[in-house]
Amino acid sequence: MNKALEGVRILDFSHLLQGPFATQLLGDMGADVIKIERAGAGDMFRGMTFFAKWVGGSESPNFLAWNRNKRSIALNLKSRKVHAIIMDMAKKADVVVQNFRPGVLARLGYGYEDFRAVNPAIIYCSGSGYGEEGPYVERPGQDMLIQGLSGLISNTGRGDQAPVPAGAGLADQIGAMNMVYGILSALYYREKTGKGQKIEVNLLAGMLAHLNQEYVAVLNLGEDFVRPNSGIGHPGMQAPFGIYEANDGGYVSIAMSPFKTLYEVLEAPQLAVYDDLKTLFDKRDEVFDKVNAETRKFATQDLLARLLAADIWCAEVKDIRRAAEDPQVKHLGMITSYDHPRGGKVRVVAPAVKMSETPATIERPAPLVGQHGREILAEFGLSSDEIAALEASGDMTVDAA
């Protein structure tokens, strides 16, 4: 089977979410991702979980989610012997990815200039919270903090309650996509010119770019978004854009449609008095409550059937467990699994991009700490005695289950 990125070798120093998701996406497309972790403990995400539970009793779902299709080597980056080995590896690598705080890896001798000195064609992608310089450079660049600083959180939730962050690591995941975007662009440029380059991605810039329509509206129309007290789904939208209740405990999202069509479907002609764009905005909380009172007269599936038959933009609101069983999700084949040596059969979300000639595949589960260290170093020419000496000194650790 052809792989789009076959032959691309990545030295991946990243940890937590942003960098690992980016390199996983590249690994899904066939890149050889060598995950360089801390000797002993490995990636910090290995020690984090949800619900205070562990997959298979020991494995982090957070780590398992973002680290498939990689090989792990666990090294002491402060060791000069290790530094020499990694610089030799860099001569045969295409891309370096890291998302340590600015300056941390450079102080250890793993900055862009260090790699470029041994491989001028190297592509070095650096992820951070706020960029490489500036007044916030020493601050922790965590996802929820970026959501708040960028303006996303202030736009989310009900106006009479505190603003609400997204229920996923949105800033990190957007940052990962920007890393992939930059790396693929740089690989294409190098293919034409032979030149490598440094790529800088930061979470704040990424969130700002993805809030572009909100920024354009506020900065050009002279208005600020004000969260409605009702369930209107965006602070810039008029009713009925929002989430509505059914009488069986379910919820349905209703997006754009002619308001006349909606109130006719709901058999609520009294709502005709609101059928004007300005009224639907100025009185959107009132309209929401009126519409919600009507949707509560129907069971979820009945409500959906009525709305869909009238070509109203709508969908059922599902939790993750029910969404995984959704017929369209099943049709797309988006829930799959891999076998992990400790976690057992791990259910995961499949690669989202479908390609006719070079399909993405899951060929490796998320690795154990340093699991592939011996084979990786052997590929780069170290002898079995040299590898054994690294292990004996503690400069490399191997967890091979």
Cite the active site residues.
Answer: 172
Sheet holding 123-128, edge to edge: 197-202, 123-128, 95-98, 9-12, 32-38, 70-75, 396-397
| Paired tokens of 127 | 């992820």
Do residues 370 and 39 touch, judged by C-beta distance below 8 A?
yes
**Phi first, then psi: what are they for 310, rounded to 5°?**
-95, 10
Distance from first CA to last CA of the chain, Å, rounded? 29
* Spatial CA neighbour of 13 closest among 105, 106, 149: 105
Q: What distance in Å separates the CA atoms of residue 140 and residue 209, rounded to the nearest whole number?
A: 20
Q: What distance in Å separates the CA atoms of residue 296 and residue 342, rounded to the nearest whole number?
A: 47
* Spatial CA neighbour of 36 closest among 60, 10, 12, 4: 12
Tokens 């009945």 appear where?
302
Q: What distance in Å separates the CA atoms of residue 18 and residue 183, rounded to the nearest whole number?
A: 14
Q: What distance in Å separates the CA atoms of residue 208 and residue 166, rounded to the nearest whole number?
A: 15
Q: What distance in Å separates the CA atoms of residue 248 and residue 26, rounded to the nearest whole number?
A: 43
* Spatial CA neighbour of 59 closest among 347, 368, 337: 368
Q: Compute the radius of gyration of the chain from its Cα atoms.
A: 25
Handedness of CA 338, 339, 340, 343 (dihedral sign): positive
- The single-letter DSSP state of residue 11 is E
Do residues 9 and 31 touch, judged by C-beta distance below 8 A?
yes
Q: Which CA distances in Å does 26 have to 31, 220, 279?
A: 6, 38, 48
Q: What distance in Å separates the CA atoms of residue 370 and residue 159, rounded to the nearest whole number?
A: 49
